[in-house]
Chains A and B, each alone.
Chain A
Amino acid sequence: MTGAKPRVSYAELTPRERIAGLVDAGSFREILDPFDRVSSPYLAEQGIVAQRDDGVVIGRARLAERDIALAAIDGRFLGGSVGEIGGAKIACVLERASEGALLLLDTGGIRLQEANLGILAVAEICDAVVALRARAPVIAVIAGRVGCYGGLSIAASLCSYIIVSEFARFGLNGSEVVEQEAGPDELDASDRAAIWRETGGTRRVAQGHADILVDDDIDAVRKAVLAGLHLRHERERLSTSRLRATIAEFAPSRSAEIAPPATRQSLP
């Protein structure tokens, strides 16, 4: 018997520390590391200092006797946003993977500073997930400080298995954008408790939108990843009949509406 190891917070770790804690010790080989200096040329014009890995760490490692392809997004760099380089890194890793892929997502979505190059990359990522999961597991881990939003929330939803922690927020539109687009009556972006209650990992697992809730502990995440290598949940998760049943609970009742639709149509 070995003694209980002290708990190490996954959320507090850097992308490379997260990878090191999840795969077989010493087996990670990074590709296009910061010394390769592949960084975004679009940021300086927008007053932002670029990062030498563009905020995405990729490579290969061993796990459960498999050759696993990895991509980990650095949530500390521009909100974990995905631009041309980071997007190409993730898509290419998924295309090259053979025995499985692990996506450590900590991202606000497409990088606004590289908008349409980002959306093209995310379309490639979505397609690559669909292609790979037909022959090997594609596991998403959403347990970082940023969570998973925007286009990457669509890509994550396509994965064969999704691991979340209670720290994780998982949704399409960040609360600030919802407030901006729909107004503060729709959602108060500063009401953090409500946001976590409604879009946090605990809720997502209860809804069947993510597959397992883990503690914020690197060993707990590793155990879930090992289990996830053998589980395929995408078909059940994306079943339209099942999703329709969930959505029905959220439909507003007609009588609860204040203004008739005709009036709403005249608003800008």
Chain B
Amino acid sequence: MTRGETWSHRLLSDARRSSEYPDSLRVVDGSIESEPYRTITIVADPLGRFPRARAGEVGLDEGLALADAVRATERERSIVAIVDLPGQAFGRREEAAGIHLSLAAAADAYATERRSGRQIFALLVGKAISGGFLAHGLQAGWIGALEDPGVEVHVMPAASVARVTRSSPQEVARVATVVPATARDVRTFAEFGAIDELFAVRDAGDPTHAEIATVREAIARARAAALGLRAPVERLNAPAAGTRSLAREVRRRIAEAW
């Protein structure tokens, strides 16, 4: 069982899986401290109809299924996007069919629902990469993450970065040590104020009851404080966002000149 499947299965009490969605989408309704939640997780589907989206990527079908699953959530239910995805699907068919629209439909659903008053949370348990993360996770008002080397955040696989920047994999690895924005580990990402809480786990793929309870308590606290309603821009004001001083400075100067 992958990390995403494990956490989608175990995060909520009284969990019931919805069978209305494609096999690549795990949609589970249940509760945390007797409040209703839905978890949504993209999982690998080796039999999926699009070969480039069989390993848990956000593909053409997944983006649309995400949008539908978000919008179809019962009114009082909060959503937890469980993020364990290697990125978006890379393929010729995907480009021709307009995969960006599928991803946009998902991002649109998350942002619109949050702006209509539904709390949206995200929990990073594995990779959170690029367009896939923009479609599933980054529109959440609160983002938690397991503190684990398998939790990675970046915008492009290293080999592609090297090709597109006309550089070498060695140079890409060197730059990651001096420019934090290009690092891939979740701790560095948290230094941008992007992660609200990090959770220590001994085995991210096989969490203990106590570890799950800690995550549940954090989500319940965040919900009680309505943190799932915050817009992405509010991350700039997070205590840890000191490293994004440049973005704040730009905004301050625009506000002055506007």
From A5-13, A91-99, A212-220, A224-232, the one touching the partner chain is A91-99
* A116 interface hit (Cβ, 8 Å): yes
* B80 interface hit (Cβ, 8 Å): no
Residues of A contacting B: mostly: helix
Contacts A92-B254, A157-B100 given; does A84 touch B247 at CB 8 Å: yes
Q: Are B105 and A89 in contact (CB under 8 A)?
A: no
Q: Which of A118, A123, A131 has the most CB of B within 10 A?
A: A123
* CB-CB contacts below 8 Å: A36-66 with B: 36, 38, 41-42, 45-46, 58, 60
Q: Are A113 and B182 in contact (CB under 8 A)?
A: yes
Q: Are B163 and A182 in contact (CB under 8 A)?
A: no
Q: Are B134 and A123 in contact (CB under 8 A)?
A: yes
* B225 interface hit (Cβ, 8 Å): no
Determine the distance from Cα of A93 to Cα of B233 in the docked complex, in whole angstroms: 13
Q: Are B251 and A92 in contact (CB under 8 A)?
A: yes
* A154 interface hit (Cβ, 8 Å): yes
Q: Are B98 and A209 in contact (CB under 8 A)?
A: yes
Give chain A nearest CB distance to B91 CB in angstroms: 6
Q: Are B138 and A123 in contact (CB under 8 A)?
A: yes
User: Interface residue count for A (Cβ, 8 Å)?
Assistant: 87
Q: Are A32 and B101 in contact (CB under 8 A)?
A: no
* A101 interface hit (Cβ, 8 Å): no
Determine the distance from Cα of A32 to Cα of B131 in the docked complex, in whole angstroms: 29
Q: Which of B104, B247, B255 has the most CB of A within 10 A?
A: B104
A3 surroundings in chain B (CB, below 8 A): none
User: Interface residue count for B (Cβ, 8 Å)?
Assistant: 78
Give chain A nearest CB distance to B215 CB in angstroms: 22
* B198 interface hit (Cβ, 8 Å): no
Q: Are B181 and A251 in contact (CB under 8 A)?
A: no
Q: Are A247 and B64 in contact (CB under 8 A)?
A: yes
B249 surroundings in chain A (CB, below 8 A): 38
Give chain B nearest CB distance to A52 CB in angstroms: 13
> Beta-carbon contacts of B120-149 to A below 8 Å, as 1s and 0s?
000000000011011100110000000000
* B183 interface hit (Cβ, 8 Å): yes
Q: Are B157 and A116 in contact (CB under 8 A)?
A: no
B214 surroundings in chain A (CB, below 8 A): none
* A25 interface hit (Cβ, 8 Å): no
Q: Are A180 and B103 in contact (CB under 8 A)?
A: no
Determine the distance from Cα of A60 to Cα of B254 in the docked complex, in whole angstroms: 11
- CB closest chain-A residue, reference B159: A180
Other A-B contacts than A42-B181, A96-B254, 12 sampled, CB-CB below 8 A, are A32-B254, A110-B155, A115-B155, A116-B188, A117-B247, A120-B232, A124-B231, A172-B103, A178-B92, A186-B90, A187-B91, A247-B64
Q: Ordered nearest first, which 5 A-B pairs have the shortest CB separation?
A: A157-B104, A181-B90, A153-B100, A123-B138, A250-B97
